Amino acid sequence: MATHKLLLLPGDGIGPEVMAEVKKVVGWLDSHGFASFSIEEDLVGGAAYDENGVPISDDAMAKAFDADAILLGAVGGPKWNTVGFDVRPEAGLLRLRKDLQLFANLRPAVCYPALAEASSLKRDLVEGLDVLIVRELTGGVYFGEPKTITDLLDGQKRAVDTQVYESYEIERIARVAFELARTRSNRVVSTEKHNVMKTGVLWKQVVSEVHGSEFSDVQLEHQLADSCGMQLVRNPKQFDVIVTDNLFGDILSDVAAMLTGSLGMLPSASLGSVEEISGRRRALYEPVHGAAPDIAGKGLANPIAMIGSLGMAMRYSFGLGEAADKLDAAIAGVLAQGYRTADIYSDGMTRVGTTGMGDAILAELGKAG
């Protein structure tokens, strides 16, 4: 059995608490013969700043380059609000994304039947929802130059952000979306604003070309981003994979997230290119939520987003799709039995803390054999 190199970066706030539950699951998978892991651990964010004066050390970066996958908890908190901009906790996460060139952000929005009432939409619209948003993460208007605010002579100011995409950036994110669609329901919606933006024109053209030459077996539809946003709240179950740029992806993935209930339930993945020699794709997995300083240290955090991030690593980095399905089923199982952390609690349910939820998921995994 192959041994998978996993780097754990628990980070700050609730990060170490939810990561502790992941370690239990990793231990269970190891001891029950589902997978073999070799684990490294290091600091990131404020914890790394306190120890080393930087939000991620060169040593931790070397471990990140060596790992088959990285699991990160969360970074940040009020303790580090006044540290220098370059060494703020978030800079550790940004360095990981930048140096590992993680250009594809995967945000699944899955609505467990047991939590359908927690959604902002009606049960029948969201029950069984399973959408994957693939967002371009390293280009577009957040990074394009010029990016300036200029003082004008008449006392006014002018702000400029620049949306830039080159075809290779669109090609590689389109490929990720089509490849993922093949492992799901084989449908991709590509979304942009070709009616008003040149980047939208190029986006649509390049996605169509990649589709025609490499993925004609996958169903492709183009939607304008505003229409896609409307459809996401009108009839979200029509979607399988949505591929989009950095800005629209930022917005649409948060909209989709809210369809599923709580921040504590949402995992994510950021993927890079496949390396030619090793065949390995660089990958960082993390919950969508932050360090939650308001509940840190109280044993209240929901560990499902973090455990779900391990599930994504199993699926996308380790080729352990079957074990990932089992983990997803265990999460659905404990929710169906009524176990709830405070963030998803409703009357009549069984309230548990972080370790209680982790233990319940392990017990459910054990039941399934």
Q: Which is nearer to ligand NAD, 244 or 262 (CB)?
A: 262
Q: Which residues contact 366 (CB under 8 A, 6 or more apart)?
A: 28
Cα separation, 291 vs 303, whole angstroms: 12
Q: Say if CB 45 and CB 54 are below 8 A apart.
A: no
Please tell me which residue in 240, 250, 328, 343 is annotated as part of the active site: 250
By the 10 Å C-beta count (0-12 exposed, 13-18 middle, 19+ buried), 367 is classed as: exposed
Q: Which is nearer to ligand NAD, 76 or 358 (CB)?
A: 76
Residue from the set 193, 289, 315, 340 that interacts with ligand NAD by CB under 6 A: 289
The window from 70-78, 136-144, 239-247, 330-338 that contacts ligand NAD (CB under 6 A) reads: 70-78
Q: Which is nearer to ligand NAD, 13 or 200 (CB)?
A: 13
> Does 175 help bind ligand NAD (rule: CB under 6 A)?
no
Binding mask 295-324 for ligand NAD (x = CB under 6 A): x-----xx--x-------------------
Q: Which residue has its beta carbon closest to ligand NAD? A: 290
Clarify whether 359 is annotated catalytic.
no
Cα separation, 1 vs 183, whole angstroms: 23
CA 109 to chain centre: 10
* Amino acid (1-letter code) at residue 235: N
Measured over the CA atoms of residue 130, residue 267, residue 332 and residue 325, the dihedral's sign is: positive
Cα separation, 1 vs 34, whole angstroms: 9
The window from 106-114, 142-150, 171-179, 292-300 that contacts ligand NAD (CB under 6 A) reads: 292-300
- Nearest distance, CB of residue 114 and ligand NAD, angstroms: 17
Q: Say if CB 196 and CB 189 are below 8 A apart.
A: no
Residue 254 in marked binding region: yes
Cα separation, 216 vs 141, whole angstroms: 30
Clarify whether 254 is annotated catalytic.
yes
CA 237 to chain centre: 20
Binding mask 325-344 for ligand NAD (x = CB under 6 A): ------------------x-
Residue from the set 59, 66, 275, 294 that interacts with ligand NAD by CB under 6 A: 294
Clarify whether 142 is annotated catalytic.
yes
Residue 85 in marked binding region: yes
Clarify whether 226 is annotated catalytic.
yes
Binding residues for ligand NAD restricted to 233-272, rule: CB under 6 A: 263-264
Clarify whether 154 is annotated catalytic.
no
Binding residues for ligand NAD restricted to 142-171, rule: CB under 6 A: none
> Does 293 help bind ligand NAD (rule: CB under 6 A)?
yes
Length of the chain counted residue by residue: 369
> Does 290 help bind ligand NAD (rule: CB under 6 A)?
yes
Residue from the set 10, 55, 77, 333 that interacts with ligand NAD by CB under 6 A: 77
Reduced DSSP (H G I as helix, E B as strand, rest coil) percent helix, strand, coil of the chain, to 5: 45, 25, 30
Q: Which residues contact 325 (CB under 8 A, 6 or more apart)?
A: none
The window from 61-69, 73-81, 223-231, 316-324 that contacts ligand NAD (CB under 6 A) reads: 73-81
Cα separation, 72 vs 54, whole angstroms: 17
Q: Structure tokens of 180?
A: 């993922």
Residue 198 in marked binding region: no
CB atoms within 10 A of CB 97: 16
Residue 80 in marked binding region: yes
Q: Which is nearer to ligand NAD, 139 or 264 (CB)?
A: 264
Residue 150 in marked binding region: no
CA 154 to chain centre: 45
Cα separation, 27 vs 358, whole angstroms: 12
Q: Say if CB 320 and CB 34 are below 8 A apart.
A: yes
Q: Which residues are annotated as a binding site?
A: 77-90, 97, 107, 135, 226, 250, 254
List of residues contacting ligand NAD (CB under 6 A) = 14, 74-77, 90, 93, 263-264, 286, 289-295, 301-302, 305, 343
Q: Which residues are annotated as a binding site for NAD(+)?
A: 77-90
Catalytic residues: 142, 193, 226, 250, 254
